[in-house]
Amino acid sequence: MGSSPPDTSKTTKLERYNSYIRRVNSTKLLQASSKLLFRVTLLVALVLILFFTLNYPPISDNPHHIHATNNLFSSAFYGSGAGWEKQVRHSSTPRRPNGFSVLVTGAAGFVGTHCSLALKKRGDGVLGLDNFNSYYDPSLKRARQKLLEKHQIFVVEGDINDSELLHKLFDIVPFSHILHLAAQAGVRYAMQNPLSYVNSNVAGFVTLLEVAKSADPQPAIVWASSSSVYGLNTEVPFSEGHRTDQPASLYAATKKAGEEIAHTYNHIYGLSLTGLRFFTVYGPWGRPDMAYFFFTKDILQRKSINVYVTQEGKEVARDFTYIDDIVKGCVGALDTAEKSTGSGGKKRAPAQLRVYNLGNTAPVTVAKLVGILESLLNVKAKKHVIKMPRNGDVPYTHANVSLAYRDFGYKPTTDLATGLRKFAKWYTSYYGIESRVKKEIQSDD
């Protein structure tokens, strides 16, 4: 870059020389600043590209599943400082004598919301944790969060893989229990985003257990396993002692892995661990990726629905379990959970390790489920009966719950027709479509 030579006509030699040096320096400074600005811009652009690539994986082609996020940067969303800590403490403080202080992971999820409300209602302290990922409509999760806030339940926005955040929460609150419900759910979505299952159900669970084992006191942990662990098992009804080494989906395999991981942390560190095998849970505030939910939506919109039958043309059935029964099971498991026995990362004595089925004990075919919805919504479904795609679904589930009954009096009381009526009432009111459905749903309590 050229600078003009010094003018010799009017000033002294020294002044002219100094002025020349100043001009050369300022030109150099300008060049250096431009280079620096360019490099900083490039760096910012790279950081932004990395951020959006990691946080927004490709959108799936399934209308019910948008995408799950890794939330590697979720810690940016949790607060710090005195105000935030006060909220964490306040939410976790029990309001009844000998009340629990429970960390509920996946608190803005379907089961998480219902359990958090039930615990809070009876006077336990409840702190929620949720990463609000977009596996399904996050606005539904935000609406559940609002409901929780109305009942003084604070939900920390963060990921179970964020051990720094978890340690921080345990530094603030000596949780007596963890109700671990955060997971990548859904059987069929595992074909589209397999690693999200490993990330949440395996890595996330291990991260949580690592923090729990080194907490003092160690909490007792109750967590969500799944009926899907029975996989290709043909003995019915499914009992806890049956084979669970033939998972039919990656989802099932990661839940089964969770049960084995639970064994390890119980064995080495003395953590008290109870796994609950949920059987197709449904109800108000449910998950939009589940069949009963999107069937309702599609039937109301006069769209066709796929009703699966087995490869042999037989009907497919599920032991659909109503949310209130599941909540009773979760609370029963928490109430009977013994204390963990370790401290400072060391086991002091053998600790409790349990697994229970939580089902309804009355399987219903998918065709019957559709029939109930048709009657409740007063709309004839456009049924498209097809052979179940090879996507991890199993043909039949049926729970034997005698173990849960023996140990904490678990007894499901809601049949599918009653439960779906409550769901339809919530659905039509939440989505503001009361006028189109049967009046009797609206008048039902």
Ligand X SMILES: O=C(O)[C@H]1O[C@H](OP(=O)(O)OP(=O)(O)OC[C@H]2O[C@@H](n3ccc(=O)[nH]c3=O)[C@H](O)[C@@H]2O)[C@H](O)[C@@H](O)[C@H]1O
Residues that bind ligand X (CB under 6 A): 185-187, 226-228, 278-280, 290-291, 306-308, 316, 318, 366, 388, 393
Cβ at position 417, least distance to ligand X in Å = 16
Indicate if 308 belongs to the active site: no
Nearer of residues 186 and 412 to ligand X, judged by Cβ: 186
Nearer of residues 211 and 416 to ligand X, judged by Cβ: 416
Nearer of residues 279 and 285 to ligand X, judged by Cβ: 279
Report the interhelical angle of 323-335 vs 110-121 (nearest 10°). Answer: 60
Q: Which of 78, 189, 197, 251 is catalytic?
A: 251
Residue nearest to ligand X (CB): 226
Cβ at position 274, least distance to ligand X in Å = 16
Cβ at position 233, least distance to ligand X in Å = 13
Cβ at position 307, least distance to ligand X in Å = 5
Cβ at position 311, least distance to ligand X in Å = 12
Nearer of residues 85 and 374 to ligand X, judged by Cβ: 374
Nearer of residues 256 and 318 to ligand X, judged by Cβ: 318
Catalytic residues: 251
